[in-house]
Amino acid sequence: MSEKVNLAEKLATFTEHWAPRTVTEFNGHDVMVVKVQGPFVWHKHDDTDDFFLVLAGEIDIEMPDRTITLGPGEVFVVPQGVEHRPVAKEEAQIMIIEPTGTPNTGDAATAAKRRRV
Amino acid sequence: MSEKVNLAEKLATFTEHWAPRTVTEFNGHDVMVVKVQGPFVWHKHDDTDDFFLVLAGEIDIEMPDRTITLGPGEVFVVPQGVEHRPVAKEEAQIMIIEPTGTPNTGDAATAAKRRRV
């Protein structure tokens, strides 16, 4: 049965960076919370857009031709197939949505294992 | 080209209740912000889950067998096919995600026209 999710409570259950936790599912997608700090890897998703909502802190979404800086309450969708690298100068907390099973690095060999909280 | 979206800025552009504004698209879905107050109509979506995130205020999601109360930073997914009625005692601001073209009342004849901001 679907339950409500308090995003801050879910974020308080772990400390690792770049290790998404699935908090609920929606139309074949995982809704995830992630703590991020420092640079992630350059990657792309050939089969899906990539939804970012910043909950706390600030992140840069670097792309080949531009960088988007997001603060709390700001959303950005990286279009399918576009190379990008999220970077957070200080720790930030974000919500992301991707189809269930999407490797966070764009590559199953290097992806974080999906966990649920 | 995909642009970043500040949800509060988008919400500040209108005052009507229960009139969703599309702010960006994601994998065939509209990401929308909505101001809500009072009761909506009982409805269901036979073909899609219904994603709610409260940004400000509080809403009740009434369902036949239970009511879920959501405050800021809380998410709830109404499963496909489940009757529900959102109700807000005071004005609240929410983000919702539904497949592009989904009627907000579950019925194209009574649905709010989708608008973009």
Residue B41 contacts A where some CB pair is shorter than 8 Å: no
Give the residue from chain B lying closest to A28, CA to CA: B49
Question: Is residue B1 over pLDDT 90?
Answer: no
Residues B20-29 have pLDDT tens digits of 999 999 999 9
B-interface mutation test, from A75, A78, A95, most B Cβ less than 10 A away: A75
Taking each continuous run of H as one helix and of E as one strand, the counts in chain A are: 1, 9
**Using CA atoms, how far apart are residues A62 and B71, in angstroms rounded to an integer?**
32
Which residues of B are less than 8 Å from A49 in CB distance?
25-27
Residue B101 contacts A where some CB pair is shorter than 8 Å: no
B-interface mutation test, from A7, A53, A59, A77, most B Cβ less than 10 A away: A77
Q: What is the ipTM of this complex?
A: 0.94
Residues B17 and B37 sit within 8 Å (Cβ to Cβ):
yes
Option in A5, A31, A77 nearest B25 (CB): A77
- For A23, other C-beta atoms within 10 Å of its C-beta total 22
**Using CA atoms, how far apart are residues A45 and A107, in angstroms rounded to an integer?**
9
C-alpha pair distances (Å), A93 with each of A4, A14, A15, A18, A73: 19, 12, 11, 10, 11
- A34-46 mean pLDDT: 96
* pLDDT band at residue A58 using 50, 70 and 90 as cut-offs: very high
Can you list the domains of chain A with their CATH numbers? 15-101 (2.60.120.10)
Residue B58 contacts A where some CB pair is shorter than 8 Å: no
pLDDT at B114: 77
Which residues of B are less than 8 Å from A63 in CB distance?
none
Environment class of B50 (CB within 10 Å of its CB; exposed 0-12, middle 13-18, buried 19+): buried
What is the count of residue pairs from A and B with beta carbons less than 8 Å apart? 82
Which residues of B are less than 8 Å from A100 in CB distance?
none
C-alpha pair distances (Å), A70 with each of A52, A60, A84, B11, B40: 9, 6, 14, 17, 32
pLDDT at B2: 80
**Using CA atoms, how far apart are residues B13 and B36, in angstroms rounded to an integer?**
14
Inter-chain contact B51–A31, Cβ cutoff 8 Å?
A: yes
Question: Is residue B12 over pLDDT 80?
Answer: yes
Residues A36 and A86 sit within 8 Å (Cβ to Cβ):
yes
